């Protein structure tokens, strides 16, 4: 598998906590979207690990085509 699966065609709202590490699912296979649960094992796609810079609500990519975990609107062209 070299291309991600579209988990959903719109972003996931998520409340992040400042200083906490998160692993965003980049493959689209996780059962705990938008976060990684290890389902990528055996694929060429790895999760994107990041640390929240502040406590706030964000919208994380659900289509898996954004360049970063934060939705960039790429789903609008699906």
Quick count: other Cβ atoms within 10 Å of Cβ 48?
16
- pTM over 0.85, yes/no: yes
- pLDDT at 63 (0 to 100): 97
- pLDDT at 73 (0 to 100): 94
User: Domain limits of the chain?
Assistant: 1-78
CA proximity to 63, closest of 17, 24, 21: 24
pLDDT in tens, the chain (78 residues): 889 999 999 999 999 999 999 999 999 999 999 999 999 999 999 999 999 999 999 999 999 999 899 999 999 988
């Amino acid at each position: 598998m070299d291309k991600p699966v579209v988990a959903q065609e719109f972003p996931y709202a998520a409340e992040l906590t400042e200083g906490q590490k998160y692993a965003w699912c980049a493959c689209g296979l996780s059962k705990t979207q938008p976060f990684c649960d290890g389902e990528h094992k055996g694929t060429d796609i790895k999760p994107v690990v990041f640390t929240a810079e502040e406590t706030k609500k964000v919208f994380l990519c659900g289509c898996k085509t954004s360049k970063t975990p934060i939705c960039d609107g790429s789903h609008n062209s699906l």
